[in-house]
Amino acid sequence: MPDLPQTFDAIAHQFSGQFVVYAEHMATGEVIEYGIPHPMETASVIKLPIMITAMKQVEEGTLSLDQLVTMESSDIVAGSGVLQNLSEGLRLSLRDVMMLMITVSDNTATNMVVRLVGLEPINAFMAALGAHDTVIKKPIDFTLPPPIGLSTPKDLVTLLRGIYHRTLVSAKASEWMWDVLTRQQYNTVLARSLPYHLLEEGDDEPATIVIGSKSGSVEGVRNDAGIFTTPWGDYAVAIMSEGCQDLRFHVDNEAHRILPAVSRAVLEHFAPKALTDSD
């Protein structure tokens, strides 16, 4: 098996920016760490803490997944998602708004949820969960200076661990959040370099490897954090990067070409048979 730090060093040598990795095996507790940990721009990965806090308020009865949320002009923002192209005044259930926020990283949907939940409750709940470096700074508004939010890979894995063990907010809420994360459509880092047949669903059969994740990108930043369930063991991993000189929002952005090798190396470490049986 290749030496993991050396593998990460080789990947870092190819990359114009810097990346930090934190991963944890859900059964053994083994941890992988690489890079200098520090609070980093989350980009759309902040939508994970937003969803978690909204589900806390749902469990408390302050919000309901069935309540209708009206899209207001102040919510509408460019970038990822589809709601910006629809009519102001549109009403959707909170359930559907959060589904859009995660699965297609809809920025307008995110602002709708933040308006209901509030910035301070998100930050307070993250601190209570032990994710002390995770902070949302503002709704998504590209006219205001960055960052949207800050976090660390370790904090993100802390949150994902709770979802995996069905202990975050409640078992029911954790199960719902896991299901939403598995529907996420931007598989630009964690899944990109993995053998496709391992990720392909069969007839009424789940994929061999199921990933529930949330990615995020702004100029110079590409992040991805998720849970891998595999026949060889389950784990959570978060990769955060900054300083990439390729500022394009393009499928072949430098980070999208290089950082998937980090995810593959983590899989090879935790579940080597996944790749040896595939190659």
Checking if the pLDDT of 273 tops 80, the result is yes
**279 pLDDT above the threshold of 60:** no
Task: Lowest mean pLDDT of 88-92, 98-102, 137-141, 198-202, name the range.
Answer: 198-202
Tell me the CATH number at 21: 3.40.710.10
Mean pLDDT of 198-203: 86
Mean pLDDT, the chain, whole residue set: 95
Q: Give residues with Cβ within 8 angstroms of 112, minimum separation 6.
A: 69, 71, 72, 75, 83, 97
- Under a CB-based contact definition with an 8 Å cutoff, are residues 121 and 202 in contact? no
Percent of the chain at pLDDT exceeding 90 = 90
pLDDT value of position 267:
96
Strand residues in the chain grouped as ranges (E) = 18-25, 31-34, 40-41, 68-70, 91-93, 135-136, 149-151, 210-218, 221-229, 235-242
Q: What is the pTM of this model?
A: 0.95
Strand order in the sheet with 40-41: 40-41, 149-151, 135-136
Q: What is the DSSP letter of 145?
A: P
pLDDT of residue 277: 65
| Arithmetic mean of pLDDT, 103-129 | 98
Q: Is the dihedral of CA 166, 170, 172, 175 positive or negative?
A: negative
CA 207 to chain centre: 20
Which residues sit opposite 212 in a β-bridge?
227
How far is Cα 44 from Cα 189, in angstroms, rounded to an integer?
A: 14
Q: What's the total number of domains in the chain? A: 1
Please check the confidence at residue 173 and state whether its pLDDT lies above 70: yes
Per-residue confidence (pLDDT) for residue 217, from 0 to 100: 94
Annotate 53-67 with DSSP letters as a single string. HHHHHHHHTSS-TTS
pLDDT band at 275 (very low <50, low <70, confident <90, very high): confident
**Cβ-based neighbour number of residue 96 at 10 Å:** 15
Say if residue 3 is exposed, middle or buried (CB neighbours under 10 Å; 0-12, 13-18, 19+).
exposed
Residue 22 or residue 186, greater confidence: 22
**Residue 4 pLDDT > 70, yes or no?**
yes
pLDDT at 253 over 70: yes
* Cβ atoms of 273 and 19 closer than 8 Å: no
The answer to whether 226 and 181 have CB atoms below 8 angstroms apart is yes
The candidate with the shortest Cα–Cα distance to 47, out of 156, 132, 131, 192, is 156
Average pLDDT of the residues in 116-133:
98
Alpha carbons within 13 A on the beta-carbon side of 21: 26
Cα first-last separation, the chain: 14
Burial class (CB in 10 A: 0-12, 13-18, 19+), 33: middle
pLDDT at residue 1, as a whole number:
52
Residue 196 structural domain:
4-276
pLDDT of 128-154, one tens digit each? 999 999 999 999 999 999 999 999 999
User: For the residues 212-232, what does the mean pLDDT come to?
Assistant: 96
pLDDT(109) > 60: yes
